[in-house]
Amino acid sequence: MGREIARVISPGGAGWLERTGREEEEHSNEAVDSMQLRPDHVVADIGAGTGYYSLKIASRAPQGKVFAVELQEELRDHLRRKIKEASINNIEVIPGDTLAVNLPAGSVDFAFMVDVYHELAWPREIIQSIRNCLKPDGKLMLMEYKGEDPSIRIRPLHKMTIIQIIKEMKASGFILERRVDALPIQHFLVFRKA
């Protein structure tokens, strides 16, 4: 749809996902607040990586569940260790693949991807898989580095514009419901099924 797909970050990039300045750079706690999660929500962290967001969200949905969907086995193992060390019991690590998120149909209240969508080899197929796992009123949130801002020091292939995101989501049957503009370097866009 008019863009080149970026390569998936390798397990060697785990340090980048866990960097000490991430909260200051990205305001990730504010992003989690903006998700407007309920304590009983079932949440899917698609492309969970090392679980940076999964662990934050687990405490926000203590009566719910977090599906941490990750493609790469090394990152899933890393995440399982973190969950065990933190004694968290409401995160389930799910092996994802390039075509599906492998979650039960109609099971998820809120699915999200943080700096992941631009790396999906088969974006339309993954979005349809997410659509299938969402409850009828379920939401999909994308956070992506702002492609419109050349001052954001991220490689261009790892950034996206709002126009491009909305175009691709519309083609996959989603419409923009809410936008949060408070994050310094990322778009925060919440979509619902059209």
CA 89 and chain centroid, separation: 20
10 domain-assigned = no
Q: Residue 93 has which token pair? A: 């690590």
11 domain-assigned = no
Report CA torsion sign: 122, 12, 49, 33. Answer: negative
Average pLDDT over all residues of the chain: 94
The CATH number that applies at residue 111 is: 3.40.50.150
101 domain-assigned = yes
Axis-axis angle for helices 162-171, 123-133 (nearest 10): 60
14 domain-assigned = no
64 domain-assigned = yes
The total number of structural domains that make up the chain: 1
Tell me if 187 sits within 8 A of 146, measured CB to CB.
Answer: yes
Pairing of strands 134-146, 186-193: antiparallel
Burial classification of residue 85, based on how many CB atoms lie within 10 Å of its CB (0-12 exposed, 13-18 middle, 19 or more buried): exposed
13 domain-assigned = no
CA 116 and chain centroid, separation: 6
DSSP 58: H
Domain encompassing residue 54: 23-193
17 domain-assigned = no
Q: Look at residue 1 in the predicted model and tell me its pLDDT.
A: 72
Local mean pLDDT, 10-residue blocks, the chain (194 residues):
73 69 91 97 97 96 97 95 97 96 98 96 97 98 97 93 97 97 96 96
Tell me if 93 sits within 8 A of 76, measured CB to CB.
Answer: yes
Q: Look at residue 2 in the predicted model and tell me its pLDDT.
A: 75
59 domain-assigned = yes
Q: Look at residue 19 in the predicted model and tell me its pLDDT.
A: 73
Distances (CA, A) of 73 to 5, 46, 145, 148: 22, 14, 25, 33
Q: Look at residue 145 in the predicted model and tell me its pLDDT.
A: 96
